[in-house]
Amino acid sequence: MASQIVNEVVTANNAYAANFGSKSELALPPARGFAILTCMDARLDPAKYAGLSEGDAHVIRNAGGRASDDAIRSLVISHKLLGTKEWFVIHHTNCGMELFCDEIMSDLLDDSLATASFDGENWSNPQHGGGCAAGHFIKWHTIENQEESVAQDVARIRSHPLVPKNIPIYGYIYDVKTGKINEVSEATKLGKAA
């Protein structure tokens, strides 16, 4: 028996597909020729904050919007095979990645794989046992300072040997209280095209 969430998603998809129309004719490359690397946070809707429609741009999402190896892999494919010519790195205020460090995450996982709880100051496991030490070997890419993390990610992408020097990379922070994206000028400077 399907969960309520599965039923809701399938019902929503049926309604979407019923009015799909000419979207079946969208080209594979993004029409507006750019990509966004941003956070997976459910409060962020890149289509709305960046004015996108289906087919306009690539949106790459992960926890924190960090320039992980996999995010860079996606950006390189976005350019090399699908022609994007400009990239954005957009982090956001009040990010969950600011609420823990690698050690906290690894220790929580070592104790239990069940969902942890947060009391506004500390993380804890309501259940104990069944954990795994593998979390100690993962870099979690947590965030201490948003401006610095955006600049670090833009710099990491800019310096990657598979990233062409002629692609500008812009750094921004989305404000979850106002909906505005605010430029991190230092990051954009680091991402300037050659």
Query: In this structure, are 92 and 163 located in the same domain?
Result: yes
HEC secondary structure over 110-171: HHCCCCCEECCCCEECCCCCCCCHHHHHCCCCCCCCHHHHHHHHHHHHHHCCCCCCCCCEEE
Instruction: Quote the CA–CA distance of 184 and 151 in Å, as a whole number.
Output: 7
Q: Please check if 101 is assigned to a binding site.
A: no
SS3 call for 32: coil
Query: In this structure, are 81 and 128 located in the same domain?
Result: no
> Tens digit of pLDDT for each residue in 108-138?
999 999 999 999 999 999 999 999 999 999 9
pLDDT for 35: 98
Q: How many CA atoms lie within 13 A of 120 on its CB side?
A: 0
Number of domain units in the chain: 2
Give a yes or no: residue 95 inside a domain: yes
Q: How many CA atoms lie within 13 A of 159 on its CB side?
A: 9
129: containing domain = 101-139
Query: In this structure, are 37 and 124 located in the same domain?
Result: no
Query: In this structure, are 68 and 150 located in the same domain?
Result: yes
Query: In this structure, are 132 and 52 located in the same domain?
Result: no
Instruction: Quote the CA–CA distance of 156 and 98 in Å, as a whole number.
Output: 19
Compute the mean pLDDT over every residue in the chain, rounded to the nearest whole number: 97
> Tens digit of pLDDT for each residue in 52-87?
999 999 999 999 999 999 999 999 999 999 999 999
pTM score, whole prediction: 0.94
Query: In this structure, are 42 and 71 located in the same domain?
Result: yes
**Phi, psi (5° rounding) for residue 34?**
-140, 165
Q: Please check if 41 is assigned to a binding site.
A: yes
Query: In this structure, are 91 and 120 located in the same domain?
Result: no
Q: Please check if 95 is assigned to a binding site.
A: yes
